[in-house]
Amino acid sequence: MNPEQRFSERAKGREGSEIRRLFKMSMKPGIISFAGGMPDPGSFPSKKAAEVREAGLRERGEILLQYGAARGDDRLIEVVLERMQQKGVEAGPRNVLITSGAQQGLDLCGKIFSDPGDVLLVESPTFIGALGAFRNYRAELAGVPMEADGIHLERLKGSLEALRDRGIAPKFLYTMPNFQNPSGITMSREKRRRLLEIAEAYDFLIVEDDAYSDLWLEGSAEDVRPIKALDTNGRVIYLGSFSKIVSPGIRLGWALGREDFIDRFEMAKQMMDVCPSPLIQAMVVGLSEDGFLERHIAELRGIYRSRRDAMLTALMRYMPDGVFWTKPKGGFYIWVTLPEGMDAVALLPKALEKNVAYVIGMAFHADKSGRNTFRISFCHETEEIIEEGIRRLGEAIAEAIR
């Protein structure tokens, strides 16, 4: 039997890539990894989670071990609505769907809004998981470059005009306004407002992925108000996640938007995995009570702030001239740009020889550009290890320049 003949057209397009091979190389044991986006495992609220889960099972086991509502647990939806209200977003229970992480929200956006060949706009660079999810629906992805204050609006308008000349209207634009993965860039308030105006003028939707906004490391929550808070016309589908503020292993996030969109999302999700786990949802409700989650997030900010600072200090100290990097105000990531003509793909084996790993920038670009860039994350290693890893990386780059 030839398995190739069995695959759907969609599955055929998803064969193993060079990028996946490089990822695998970066997973070897003993390596200092700046590659992943995994939160610090020591920060997980395991003890409290065990307590609330136990109490839940004792008191409501017959409900928590049963199938639940496809839309998600009413009490968790209330928690989400309260958190969203604090971010300036007014919504009701019918506007929310609990998802299996923000990743499922991305998949649902691809599934519900895009047909094969449709054009979707993405930031360049953008989140690898979104590229994968949208490619799965065989969308054509058009990248719009980033500036220090977010997506380049003039270039966006240029792309929209060029598409209009070809009779094409993109279905949506996917953006991460806060502490973007991979660049660490935050979109200015002015740009958020203007982006919405452009979406109105050219009539496309905005998918806003806000996985990191609670992890602001300077300023305040006011600085990271989502685009959704400005949206009076139902143009924005907001995706949130508990992965970075509770833990990724619980697989909980949410999509928030117009009722008619969320109804469609719910129907599609029900066919994928029936309902989110009632037990895990109840656990997160328990963790949200009495201000525990807020205190926990404040602690996380402390951990990630000192790691970010350690990484920025080490970069200053060890990077050769001609290397530039972003200075994120939150989230997990720093984006490094090597001198023009240098190749982060060719550099990776040299970095791995020194037991330090990053993710090549090319992986984050829809058009595979960005060969002289890479992403490093400060979320996973301690300050001392970060300093040592950046020292080795600086050495590898200096040797490559020579």
Where along the sequence are the contacts to ligand PLP (CB under 6 A)? 37, 101-103, 127, 129, 176, 181, 209, 211, 241, 243, 248, 253
Nearest approach, Cβ of 37 to ligand PLP (angstroms)? 4
Give the CA dihedral 279, 283, 289, 293, nearest 10 degrees: -150
Which helix H or strand E contains 96, and what residues bound it? strand 96-99
Nearer Cβ to ligand PLP, position 225 or 375?
375
Q: Whose CA is closest to 41, among 295, 237, 303, 263?
A: 303
Using Cβ positions, the residue closest to ligand PLP within the complex turns out to be 101
Nearest approach, Cβ of 278 to ligand PLP (angstroms)? 19
- Torsion over CA: 262, 263, 269, 275 (sign): positive
Nearer Cβ to ligand PLP, position 22 or 379?
379
Answer whether 32's CB lies under 8 Å from 39's CB. Answer: no
DSSP structural state of residue 257:
-
Nearest approach, Cβ of 166 to ligand PLP (angstroms)? 30
Nearest approach, Cβ of 7 to ligand PLP (angstroms)? 25
Nearer Cβ to ligand PLP, position 204 or 242?
242
Side-chain-side CA neighbours of residue 151 (13 Å): 30
Nearest approach, Cβ of 92 to ligand PLP (angstroms)? 23
Q: Whose CA is closest to 344, among 361, 328, 326?
A: 361
Answer whether 376's CB lies under 8 Å from 34's CB. Answer: yes
Nearer Cβ to ligand PLP, position 24 or 164?
24
Nearer Cβ to ligand PLP, position 235 or 375?
375
Nearer Cβ to ligand PLP, position 181 or 337?
181
Nearest approach, Cβ of 134 to ligand PLP (angstroms)? 13
Maximum C-alpha span of the chain: 67
